[in-house]
Amino acid sequence: MITKVFLRGIAAIAVTLGPPGLGAAAELRAIQLESGTDSAQVVLDLSSGATQNLFTLDHPDRIVIDLPHTRRAAGVRLPPATGIVTGMRWGQQPHDTLRVVVQLRSALPAHTTWGSGEQGRRLIVTLGQPLLAAAATTAGPRTVPALHAPGDSGRDVIIAVDAGHGGVDPGAIGHGGTREKDVTLAIARALAQQIDGEPGMRAVLTRDRDEFLELRDRIARARAAHADMFISVHADSIADRSISGASVYVLSVHGESSEAARVLAERENAVDLMAGVPLDDKGALAPVLLDAAQSETIGVSASAAERVVNALGSVGEIRKREVQRAGFVVLKSPAIPSMLVETAYISNPSEERRLRNSEQQQRLAEAIASGVHSYFVQNPPDGTRFKQERRTLASAADPATPSAP
């Protein structure tokens, strides 16, 4: 039974979900957020259903979800703000009630429905126009099929994580002696661990030790792993030591987005030559022939990179809010969406200290993984677990489908 009560400045909806007499405490085991510019969807995975209360508040606009007799499981984390959602928080209220607050840029109507989830019961809170309906009526980014990937139903999305530099190539060196190759390997390992902890995702490291890899070998290892996405991790330097902040790059074949992007790409592309790779053995340095497939891959790369930029904003400064474009050789894979993440400037003394800190490395890894995860949830490749879950959500959101008790 759903009862709506409208008050001045507040609209409350009391939603009774779950069978009568359910007295056992429930556990919130996962929470996901998908958000666009005018709609959002929050998915809460619980051990069991219970009586829920949902209401809206203004000044600022918020959606409040009360879960009586519910506690959150250890290790559950809130997703970062993105799109119309400017923040999320939670807290334990009297009578063992777990309160989840979703803060919005502007007011949105809220709708709820139940579905079945791996954790038990799944509460789906749709804000504004349902995302599934919106996706059907807007020309959003289309997922490029990974033709080289296995087609088994329910497979994991595979992410190739590339730690920049290595071996005889130390990369940039900070004023305090910190080497980029060591920082990138630490962050790459943390990122791989974070990805492996997400159901439906699996990471493959291009290098897991201090070794030099030619740029083409990095691409080849991603292809051999049947990767759905390639992420190269870096921490560059710049002459002006006061400059700080993260930025994310995708491939450009028609010029760079800035002079700084051009200089950075030229420096990174020269790594093979500096390491003694013969000039006549540089297959990866060949120009990209831009065809429809390559153009679409770059578009997908940019869409995923936007989510990573937004996620990185929750853990540190962002130098470039817009996705940058440059002719990085390591991103020149026609069939694999690819991005290069400059996590920070190792030339900045403050950022150098943070890059050495394992907790900051972990935070950066979590942010990157969160951005990538949110992209694949919204744009699942065919044959993947994400695609199956997308169908489950679509079925649960269909008004013609009877609600679970």
- In this structure, the answer to whether residues 247 and 341 fall within a common structural domain is yes
Structural domain range at position 327: 157-384
Mind spelling out the 3-state secondary structure of the chain? Answer: CEEEEEECCEEEEEECCCCCCCCCCEEEEEEEEEECCCEEEEEEEECCCCCEEEEEECCCCEEEEEECCEEECCCCCCCCCECCEEEEEEEEEHHHEEEEEEEECCCCCEEEEEEEECCEEEEEEEEECCHHHHHHHCCCCCCCCCCCCCCCCCECEEEEEEECCECCECCCECCCCCEHHHHHHHHHHHHHHHHHCCCCEEEEECCCCCCCCCHHHHHHHHHHCCCCEEEEEECCCCCCCCCCCEEEEEECCCCCCCHHHHHHHHHHHCHHHHCCCCCCCCHHHCCCCCCHHHHHHHHHHHHHHHHHHHHHCCCCCECCCCCEEECCHHHCCCCCCEEEEECCCCCCHHHHHHHHCHHHHHHHHHHHHHHHHHHHHHCCCCCEHHHHHHHHHHHHHCCCCCCCC
Residue 235 lies in a domain: yes
pLDDT given for residue 172 in this prediction: 92
- In this structure, the answer to whether residues 321 and 212 fall within a common structural domain is yes
- In this structure, the answer to whether residues 204 and 306 fall within a common structural domain is yes
Residues 264-321 pLDDT 10s: 666 666 665 555 555 444 444 444 444 455 677 888 899 999 999 999 998 888 988 8
Residue 181 lies in a domain: yes
pLDDT given for residue 260 in this prediction: 61
pLDDT given for residue 154 in this prediction: 82
pLDDT given for residue 24 in this prediction: 62
User: For the chain, how many structural domains are there in total?
Assistant: 2
Residue 398 lies in a domain: no
- In this structure, the answer to whether residues 118 and 169 fall within a common structural domain is no
Give the CATH number, domain containing residue 108: 2.60.40.3500
- In this structure, the answer to whether residues 315 and 240 fall within a common structural domain is yes
pLDDT given for residue 161 in this prediction: 96
pLDDT along the chain (405 residues), means of 10: 33 38 71 84 81 79 88 89 90 86 89 67 75 36 41 79 93 94 96 92 93 89 92 92 92 62 64 52 44 72 93 88 86 88 95 94 95 92 86 63 40
- In this structure, the answer to whether residues 169 and 259 fall within a common structural domain is yes
Give the CATH number, domain containing residue 248: 3.40.630.40
- In this structure, the answer to whether residues 107 and 21 fall within a common structural domain is yes
Residue 150 lies in a domain: no
- In this structure, the answer to whether residues 170 and 43 fall within a common structural domain is no
pLDDT given for residue 157 in this prediction: 94
- In this structure, the answer to whether residues 203 and 72 fall within a common structural domain is no
pLDDT given for residue 327 in this prediction: 82
